[in-house]
Amino acid sequence: MYIMSQKKFFISNGQLKNLEDFDESLIDIYPSVYEVIRVLSGVPLFVEEHIDRLQNSLRLLNNHYEINACKLLEDINRLIENNGFPDENIKIIINQLNKSKPDTYIFFIPSSYPSQKEYNFGVATILFPAERHNPNAKVVAKEQRELISLTLKEKGAYEALLVNNEGYITEGSRSNVFFVKDEIVYTPPADQVLEGITRKRVITLCKDLGIVIIEKSFSSNTVHKMDAVFMTGTSPKVLPITVIDDRIFDSPKNPIVLKIMKAYNNLIDEYIRKNRP
């Protein structure tokens, strides 16, 4: 069963429809590409970058469909307005990729965000052996997602950090990961991960703040040497990690992590101020 947030409306191929008309069988068609966009104060955060990545995901699957970015943005804003400007996440799915004009669905999904306590004290993560076949393409991988969700529930962890066949940590199952050592920030290379929108913004922020940032892989056997670890993503924003399996990190008190968290929150506030309806 596909989970949709209990809002009044969703959009199917540009048409605003009532929730009771939603047919989940039309969503569960693969292959498909997707994006998840966070809405705050009526503003879809960094929506232009999400649309660009959606187009890039299609290209990586050798699909030549060109998204009408202006129309898609119009539909997103129409959905937000008609549902009463909720502070939740929107999901965009494009499927039926064999058609000359694939199907596009836009809808709100149940959204969960870190608590203030989790920002203050960090979260627990686990290592999970897995890697994306085409890491730069944001495609639906239903079976892997369900397996990871089950494992997280069993372990009582917030996120799973994926470890590839060579033993290197690449990314989170729904986030990107950063390491801090001696005031230098490291993150796995772009060609090994799904390039998160937040990841890109944080890399730029580090450069603006004068923080040295290096794209480099670390094996799961050496991660214990790091001073701090944090994840980035649409829902968590910048979130300290205090536990990776049995390894403990004092990430929430690390000055570099705190500086990046503050800068990213300020960036969101400024984006909302400029784009508020």
Q: How confident is the model at residue 24, as a pLDDT?
A: 81
Q: Which domains does the chain carry? A: 9-109 (3.30.470.10), 116-272 (3.20.10.10)
Q: How many CB atoms lie within 10 A of CB 167?
A: 14
The SS3 of residue 40 is strand
Q: How confident is the model at residue 31, as a pLDDT?
A: 81
Phi, psi torsion values for 87, nearest 5 degrees: -85, 80
Q: Is residue 56 exposed (0-12), middle (13-18) or buried (19+ Cβ within 10 Å)?
A: middle
Measured distance CA(272)–CA(267) in Å, rounded: 9
Q: How confident is the model at residue 93, as a pLDDT?
A: 95
pLDDT by 10-residue block (mean), the chain, 277 residues: 69 94 81 93 97 93 92 97 95 90 93 96 96 65 82 94 94 96 96 92 98 96 96 97 97 98 98 92
Measured distance CA(178)–CA(234) in Å, rounded: 15
The SS3 of residue 204 is helix
Q: How confident is the model at residue 275, as a pLDDT?
A: 95
Q: How confident is the model at residue 1, as a pLDDT?
A: 41
DSSP 10: E
Q: What is the distance of C-alpha 30 from the center of its chain?
A: 20
Q: How confident is the model at residue 146, as a pLDDT?
A: 85
Q: How many CB atoms lie within 10 A of CB 60?
A: 15
